[in-house]
């Protein structure tokens, strides 16, 4: 009786051992699979890092070359306009003025792309100082007023308080305000642009317009690199998709938040920038 029990037990023991081996085998197979996936992932990561580096250096090379060309032709057009090349007739003057405008626009675009690349690479060091954000906003609004009115739009500015102290880089904060207002100018055919500054525990800048608006789909791409709205290219053929991306990078470097709202196509847009009070 004892022997019979042992025989059964030994058979069961063998079965258990074999079953456990099979389970371990499956685990080992999975382990190898994960190991191989990890290795593939590492290779892909390395390749991606190399590609990013190559892209960065390509962006720098192209933008510097393009900017160089724009700058040279800009001086040619400017020279034509200021009489360096002698008297020019009104028709040539008109063409030279257009050429100068195109060159300025081109340089602006190249600078935008270069700035994004530099911000991403950490090549830009912010000069953080305590400043009054109201001054930055007011100065930028006044600089943009001509362009707004030239398009037949109204520009409103509302500032609740006397001072809005923030710690930030005046140059880059101005870029933020400028970018948001320029966006509104580009995408608003009629109506007005309202810029407001308020303080509800944090500084809040809002730039509202009666323009093209933002679709639900576009809201997801607003602040991404190269993210352009589906309809924005129809209105603004020069859209680079880098403007709002730059805004986001700068605002976040100032420990702030930026977001956009819209009730939909044709219903205008509202962009908000929240900054901590210094």
Partner 1 sequence: MDTTAQFPKIAFRIIKEQELIIGPLAWDEARKVQGIQILNQKNGEINLDSGNQKNIIDRLVAQYERIFGEASHVVCHDAVQDLIAEMPPEEIPASLK
Residues forming the site for partner 1 (CB under 8 A): 14, 17-18, 21-22, 24-25, 27-28, 31-32
Q: Which of residues 25 and 277 has its CB atom nearest to partner 1 in the complex? A: 25
Q: Which of residues 31 and 75 has its CB atom nearest to partner 1 in the complex? A: 31
Instruction: Give a three-class secondary structure readout of 206-266.
Output: EEEECCCCCCHHHHCCCCCCCCCCCCHHHHCCCCCCCHHHHHHHHHHHCCCEEEEECCCCC
In Å, how far from its chain's centre is CA 233?
A: 16
Residue 193 structure tokens: 């642009």
Least distance between partner 1 and beta carbon 25 (Å): 5
Least distance between partner 1 and beta carbon 24 (Å): 5
d(Cα 178, Cα 28) in Å, to the nearest integer? 59
Pairing of strands 165-168, 192-199: unpaired
Least distance between partner 1 and beta carbon 18 (Å): 4
Least distance between partner 1 and beta carbon 44 (Å): 25
Least distance between partner 1 and beta carbon 31 (Å): 7
Q: Which of residues 29 and 93 has its CB atom nearest to partner 1 in the complex? A: 29
Q: Which of residues 31 and 85 has its CB atom nearest to partner 1 in the complex? A: 31
Q: Which of residues 14 and 94 has its CB atom nearest to partner 1 in the complex? A: 14
Q: Which of residues 18 and 156 has its CB atom nearest to partner 1 in the complex? A: 18
d(Cα 117, Cα 122) in Å, to the nearest integer? 9
Half-sphere exposure of 156 (CA within 13 A, CB side): 11
Work out whether the CA dihedral 98, 101, 103, 105 comes out positive or negative. Answer: negative
Least distance between partner 1 and beta carbon 34 (Å): 13
Least distance between partner 1 and beta carbon 58 (Å): 42
Q: Which of residues 21 and 85 has its CB atom nearest to partner 1 in the complex? A: 21
Environment class of residue 81 by beta-carbon count within 10 Å: exposed (0-12), middle (13-18) or buried (19+)?
A: middle
Q: Phi, psi at residue 61, to the nearest 5°?
A: -60, -50
Q: Phi, psi at residue 187, to the nearest 5°?
A: -105, 15
In Å, how far from its chain's centre is CA 209?
A: 20
């Amino acid at each position: 009786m004892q022997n019979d029990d042992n025989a059964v037990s030994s058979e069961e023991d063998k079965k258990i051992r074999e079953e456990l081996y099979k389970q371990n085998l499956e685990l080992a197979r999975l382990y190898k699979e994960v190991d191989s996936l990890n290795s593939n992932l590492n290779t892909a990561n390395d390749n991606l890092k190399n590609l990013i580096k190559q892209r960065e250096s390509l962006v720098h090379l192209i933008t510097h070359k393009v900017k160089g060309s724009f700058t040279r032709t800009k001086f040619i057009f400017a020279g034509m306009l200021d009489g360096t090349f002698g008297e020019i007739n009104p028709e040539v003057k008109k063409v030279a003025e257009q050429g100068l405008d195109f060159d300025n626009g081109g340089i602006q675009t190249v600078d935008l792309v270069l700035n994004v690349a530099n911000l991403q690479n950490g090549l830009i060091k912010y000069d953080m100082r305590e400043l009054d954000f109201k001054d930055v906003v007011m100065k930028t609004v006044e600089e943009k007023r001509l362009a707004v009115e030239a398009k037949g739009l109204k520009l409103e500015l509302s500032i609740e308080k006397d001072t809005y102290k923030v710690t930030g880089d005046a140059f880059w904060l101005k870029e933020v305000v400028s970018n948001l207002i320029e966006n509104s100018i580009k995408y608003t055919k009629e109506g007005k642009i309202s810029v407001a500054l308020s303080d509800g525990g944090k500084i809040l800048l809002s730039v509202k317009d009666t323009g093209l608006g933002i679709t639900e789909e576009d809201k997801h791409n607003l602040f991404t690199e190269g993210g352009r709205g589906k309809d924005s290219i129809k209105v603004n053929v020069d859209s680079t998709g880098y403007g709002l991306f730059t805004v986001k990078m700068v605002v976040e470097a100032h420990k702030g938040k930026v977001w956009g709202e819209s009730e939909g196509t044709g219903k205008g847009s509202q962009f908000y920038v929240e900054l901590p009070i210094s």
